[in-house]
A and B are shown apart, each in its own frame.
Chain A
Amino acid sequence: MNQVLYIEDEKEIGEWVSKDLTDRGYQVIWLTSGEDIDTYISKSDIVILDVMLPGLDGFSIGRRIKKEHSDLPILMLSARTSVEDKIEGLDFADDYLTKPFHPEELVARIEVLLRRFHKQDEKIELQHLIIHTKDGRVVNHESDVEILLTGKQYHLFQFFIKHLNQILTKEQIYEGVWGERYIDGDKTLMVHIRYLREKIEKNPANPTIIETIRGIGYRVKL
């Protein structure tokens, strides 16, 4: 169970979010100011921070947390929506969600961050596959056979798993996995995706795990 440290001074919003997140299976610690965060910070997997707080503001708290715990994801949740605020927030925070928000969106973003920071020891079940996110093992649970991926295939699949449900453009994938600038017309990515599909898809000619989004890129949807 992931622990969420949530700092919000508005009582109604705080109650609502805490309840909703608790219902969804998170352990929530809700504080109305940044005073006592040190008590809980070490056990938390993610921090959700409001900006306008009594005493120290959310930006200052966030910066301090990030300085001391750089591997702790921070999600800013604020009714301040100006470009300047977002820029200031994203300078240290990992995501910035503006109020009013949908609880589904908040959860989706929390999940993305937890995955990105390897805070989940969960096994992801993806059709006939079980993916162990910590060590990156991929097992076909129908046949109970581990699927062995080569270096590039592994990195490519990991990249998709880190960005579950997100549509990724060819450029984003290539630059994320190869770490080089994508050159228009480069077939390397397509070739690797074909090999990867041959290993993980039941029917590589009609892929269901790595979806092709025409004109845009690819997506792995949970």
Chain B
Amino acid sequence: MNRFMKSLLAKYMLIIIVAILVVQLAYLLVGSIAIFGFNLQDDEDVDTQVVEDNWHRDASNMKNITDDKIEKLFKNWKEKYPEAGMFWVNAEGKLVVEIDATEGLPDEWTPVFTASFIKERYNGNPFTVIAFVGDKEKDGFIVIEIPRNTFDPPILKASERFGYLIIIGVIAFILLFIIVSFLFFRSIQKRLLKFQDSMGIRDVDGLPVEVEIKKEDEIGELEKSYNQMVDELRESRKRQQQEENLRRELIANLSHDLRTPLTKVRAQSYTIMQEELSDQGKQAAKAIETSITNIDRLIENLMSYTLLMASKYKYDPKEMDMSRFVRESVATWYPAFEKEEFKIDVSLDSLGQWMMDPIWMERILDNLFQNVLRHAKSGKYISVKTESREQYDSIIITDHGPGMKQESHEKGAGIGLTIVNMMVKGMNLDWKIKSSEQGTSIQIIRFR
């Protein structure tokens, strides 16, 4: 019940009920004022029968008729019935005395006119009483005419008298009702719009924020459910985050657990290499070394691939000077190429700022340079150049190796290039590979 009282429905019902009550009360009030007011003015009931009887009685009671006497009688009546009109037609048919009578009465009353007058006035308006004066007909007759509405019930009279007031009152009340309803609905509308606005607000983590609940009505309930939803969303995001961390941690641990024994293998092979070895032994130790490097690379790529596939690889792009970045990357690889007696041809013009994650770009270049070192060693050549056209800027890495179709004796380039592909696409860049027996050229492109 308490909840119902707080609801919007209850409020609107209240408005309607108040409106109906006010209308009823207004009518009662107006009616009672009218009756009360009317009674103040005319204490006696106005009744046609009473008027008729009294008129006849006063007429027949008259003796020694004179004009003055008739006039006096008329004045008495006039006091009682201010709306009344009266006149006297004497025995000769002459209109002698007249007070407020209907206009157009003839001075001479012929029997024909008298008959038609009586006929016209019978049950007509104004209410008319014709009475012979005195006890004989020789003194003519007196007539009283009272407008019929004088006898109307008080409420009707009130409506005539106070009609405009009532109409103004009703209009005022309807306006009031419309305004109250308008305000009521506008407040609902305002709250809904405000609610909609707050639903659009996002927290730093991209999740919606809870809204403040001010009232416990239907909209309040809605806001409560919304907050509950936001809570659940947060909860699920948190769970997802935890799972993500768990997954990342798992991969990191796995990588660690694989690399630790690999390091031990290197420790042993390194120790063996310090010994005096036969040529065969040296070759074997070197093969172990190479395998360790390859496995290490594979583990790294596998981990990255797994994280990339699950979109869990940390991505944090920023504006960077691309040619500067490439130059620094080549600088770190330079000694490795130098050691393998590569001819290194570097020519980097400015490529402007690229939107990229430096770790990703470093990884891409590392994978590409690593591939050149491993698969294109025979060409003994690497060039890193820039190429800018109207539509794009690009970096081109070229080697003179046997090409990609030619099976290199060291495998494993596949996953490395897959990672390059995913990362290039992930940074909204493009890339192209041209490979022939004369060598391979890889172009990383940023369209303008």
A residues with CB within 8 A of B: 10, 12-13, 15-17, 20, 52, 78-85, 98-103, 165-169, 171-172, 184, 213-217
Contact = CB atoms under 8 A, between A and B. Distances in A.
B251 A216 contact: no
Contact of B314 (A83, A101, A166): A83
Contacts, number: 97
Given A216-B331, A216-B334, A80 B263 contact: no
Contacts of A85: 252
Contacts of A100: 259, 262-263, 265-266, 292, 296
Nearest to A19: B271
Given A80-B255, A83-B313, A83-B359, A16 B327 contact: no
B149 interface: no
Nearest to A85: B252
**Interface of chain B, helix or strand or loop or mixed?**
helix
Given A80-B256, A83-B314, A169 B248 contact: no
Interface residues of B, number: 39
Interface of B: 248, 251-252, 255-260, 262-268, 270-271, 292, 296, 300, 303, 313-314, 324, 327-328, 330-332, 334-335, 345-348, 350, 359, 384
Contact of B252 (A10, A16, A80): A80
A172 B325 CA distance: 11
Query: Which of A20, A81, A171 has the most chain B CB within a 10 Å cutoff?
Result: A81
A82 B334 contact: no
A79 B330 contact: no
A13 B346 contact: no
Given A79-B255, A84-B248, A172-B328, A214 B346 contact: yes
A52 B256 contact: yes
Nearest to B313: A83
Contacts of B359: 83
A81 to B, nearest CB: 6
Contact of A13 (B263, B327, B328, B332): B263
A59 to B, nearest CB: 13
A19 B264 CA distance: 14
Contacts of A169: 324, 327-328, 331
Contacts of A80: 252, 255-256
7 contacts: A12-B264, A15-B267, A99-B263, A100-B259, A167-B332, A172-B328, A217-B327
B259 A79 contact: yes
